[in-house]
Amino acid sequence: MTTKAIIIGATSGIGKELAEVLLREGCTVGLAGRRIHLLDELKGKFPDRVFLKRIDVSQVSESLDVLNRLITEMEGVDIIVVSSGAGFINKDFLWLPEKETIDVNVSGFAAMTNIAIHHFLSKGSGHLVGISSLAALRGSSVAPAYSASKAFVSNYLEGMRKKVAQSGMSITVTNIQPGYVDTAMAKGEGKFWVATPREAAKQIYEAIKRRRKHAYITKRWRLIAWLLKIMPDFLHNKI
């Protein structure tokens, strides 16, 4: 039986590369994002296995309806990946960049996750994958809403994992925490260990196949995660 997956936030970066990986592996894939024209090439390559829908997750009511329609059109799905994200370097702590980040990474993420979990509970199985960030581990002075929103993503996924565990159903919830990936989201100076979107997508696909609960992308970022967790405030405040 062909695996069916939906990727929300598939128009660029990690989401688009992951879509290509899934399609090469023979999956049927629903692709959703704001700039849907960027997905026409994939639709042309795999016309029978690609479904397209325009979703702007910051428009919560509309995006809930569209995701439900996409699931119905695909006659149910096995995997839903929520890859949509927003983030800004906001040294001056301006409100509008903070609000946009929260609208997408918190409200939008929670809305898409809500639909995913209800779908999987109704069918008794499934796999929810959320793209968080290493930034979730500590607060940031230059991108405060981004770090806080990704902490929400990681914590929300943990709550969903606990919920489905109590259901006794075969539902997996995976928290993906990338370090630096060469996408429009990777802003600022001093970046290191920068992965290509293709490299990141391959490792995410491996985590999905293994039904992992959590994965750092790339794997070497486990070391930085450990250092961030144990770093005292007086050191963290200097970086």
Annotated catalytic residues are: 146
Secondary structure class of 82 (helix, strand, coil): strand
What whole-number distance in Å separates Cα of residue 48 and Cα of residue 197?
25
What whole-number distance in Å separates Cα of residue 85 and Cα of residue 46?
26
Contacts of 204 (CB under 8 A, 6+ apart): 14, 18, 129, 176, 215, 217
Secondary structure class of 5 (helix, strand, coil): strand
Contacts of 189 (CB under 8 A, 6+ apart): none
* Token pair belonging to 3: 């695996």
